[in-house]
Amino acid sequence: MNELLSISDEVSQALAEQRPVVALESTVIAHGMPYPNNVETAFAIEKAVRDSGAVPATIAIMDGRFVVGLEEKDVERLGTSTGVPKVSSRDIGAVMAGNGLGATTVASTLVAADMAGIPVFSTAGIGGVHRGASTTFDISADLVQFTRSKVAVVCAGAKSVLDLGLTLEYLETVGVPVLGYRCDDFPAFYCRSSGFRNPQRLDDMDLVARAVDMHWQTGLPGGPLVTSPIPEEDALDSEMMESVITRALEEADSEGITGAAITPYLMKAVSKATEGKSSQANRAVLISTADVAGQLAVSYSNQRS
């Protein structure tokens, strides 16, 4: 066992028996929502994974190593502590060296999932190319990590605080497959469509699992992105979202917020501006992507056995 990796008994047993496991991030717990919503939602996400037949493995850095399969008390600790650093891939070494606590982003969770041998990961929204990136160069390390970790990522696209057209261009350039599961368009988190097409659409989960497997069997690095939109009944109006986001971006700009702080800032601003609505939609989309990821993990594990 790698000393930088502490895997829960339940997760390690499932992996040893080649049963389906879904990796989950922890930035959403520490920075994505206020307490106690964050903790309650983290458990609801895990339940959605279980209901679809897979074992959830929520991941964070604790006491200087990756913990894969957080216990309830760990989720509580992450959800109630203040000042937990947001750890992206480049921060892993420093946070581990300091024996610290860290909330893992999509990028760093993929590093841990890959080390543990978990082939499927779920999040509601990935990081991407920020609006204005042509001058700020602000492009999430999530996109680079998709080319490095052998893990398939299920998501509902990304929030339109980002430039989703440029995000798709970037993914094309670095060779990350984007597979729409039962959807034509790349989703925009709260909204079912970003107005941009998924480059591929597949309607059968066994076919998605095959496509993921083929990617790996050909020796291509990294892993595919599988997109699945928020359920129709929970989706928010795109015009309303656009005006909220434009305002939040202006505020961030006037307050001089940049770099790693921009994503959490925008999440909070959007959630405040839409009051209860966005937090309900946030929960719904986290649960629906976890459900789809569970289905993918089941299908992938069936094909391997």
Applying CB under 6 A, which residues contact ligand PSU? 25, 27-28, 31-32, 88, 105-107, 125, 127, 140-142, 159, 189, 260, 263, 267
Least distance to ligand PSU from the beta carbon of 73, Å?
A: 22
Closer residue to ligand PSU (CB): 125 or 224 = 125
Q: Report whether 129 belongs to an annotated binding site.
A: no
Distances in Å between the Cα of 35 and the Cα atoms of 46, 99, 110, 286 are 17, 25, 25, 16
Give the whole-angstrom CA distance, residue 35 versus residue 145: 29
By a kind-dependent CB cut-off of 5 to 8 A, residue 267 interacts, out of ligand PSU, Mn ion, none, with ligand PSU
Asked whether residue 140 is marked as a ligand-binding residue, the answer is: yes
Q: Which does 157 bind (CB under 5 to 8 A by kind): ligand PSU, Mn ion, none?
A: none
Decide if 159 is catalytic.
yes
Positions in the binding site for Mn ion (CB under 5 A): 138
Catalytic residue, candidates 3, 10, 25, 172: 25
**114 is an annotated ligand-binding site residue:** no
86 is in an annotated binding site: yes
Judged by beta carbon, residue 138 or residue 163, the one nearer Mn ion is: 138
Q: Which of 46, 71, 150, 159 is catalytic?
A: 159
User: Smallest gap, in angstroms, from Cβ of residue 229 to ligand PSU?
Assistant: 14
25 counts as catalytic:
yes
138 is in an annotated binding site: yes
At closest approach, how far in Å is the CB of 204 from ligand PSU?
Answer: 28
Nearer to ligand PSU, 142 or 163 (CB): 142
Given a contact cutoff of 8 angstroms between Cβ atoms, the answer to whether 147 and 222 are in contact is yes
Q: Smallest distance, Å, CB 131 to ligand PSU?
A: 12
Query: CB of 23 within 8 A of CB of 112?
Result: yes
The smaller minimum CB distance to ligand PSU, of residues 27 and 52, is found at 27
**Which of ligand PSU, Mn ion, none interacts with 21 (beta carbon under 5 to 8 A by kind)?**
none
Which of ligand PSU, Mn ion, none lies near 162, with the C-beta cut-off 5 to 8 A by kind? none
Q: Tell me the closest approach of the beta carbon of residue 176 to Mn ion, in angstroms.
A: 18
Number of Cβ within a 10 Å radius of residue 56: 26
Does 163 carry a binding-site annotation? no
258 backbone dihedrals φ, ψ, rounded to 5°: -140, 175
Among ligand PSU, Mn ion, none, partner that 28 touches (CB below 5 to 8 angstroms by kind): ligand PSU
Annotated binding site for Mn(2+): 138
Annotated binding site: 86, 106, 138, 140-142
Annotated binding site for substrate: 86, 106, 140-142
Active site members: 25, 159
